[in-house]
Amino acid sequence: MTGHNDDSRHYTLGVTKPFGVRMNRRLFLPAGSSQPKVAIVSSSPSEHSRSMVGARHALTFLRGHDIQAELIDLRCTPLPMYDPEAAADSRRDMLLRVFNDADAWVLAGPVYNWGSGSQLTNFLHYALDQGGRHYRPFVLVAGAGSLQSLLAFDGLGRTLLHEVHGVQVGPPVLLAGDAVERETGCLDDEVRLRLEKALAALVHFAAASTRLVGQPAVSVG
How far apart CA 82 and CA 61 sit, in angstroms, is: 32
Backbone angles phi, psi at 13, to 5 degrees: -115, 130
pTM: 0.82
Q: Does the pLDDT value for residue 53 go beyond 80?
A: yes
What DSSP letter does each residue of 120-139 carry, written as one string? HHHHHHHH--TTS----EEE
Look up the domain containing 128 and give its range: 36-210
Q: What is the pLDDT of residue 34?
A: 73
Q: What confidence tens digit (pLDDT) does each residue in 29-48 have? A: 666 567 899 999 999 998 88
Q: Classify the C-alpha dihedral 162-36-29-1 as positive or negative.
A: negative
Q: How far apart are the first and last CA of the chain?
A: 51
| Local confidence band at 49 (pLDDT 50, 70, 90 cut-offs) | very high
**Is 31 part of any domain?**
no
User: Is residue 18 in a domain?
Assistant: no
In a domain, 167, yes or no: yes
Could you report the per-residue pLDDT of 162-202, keeping only the tens digit for each? 999 999 999 999 999 998 988 888 999 999 999 999 999 99
Structural domain count of the chain: 1
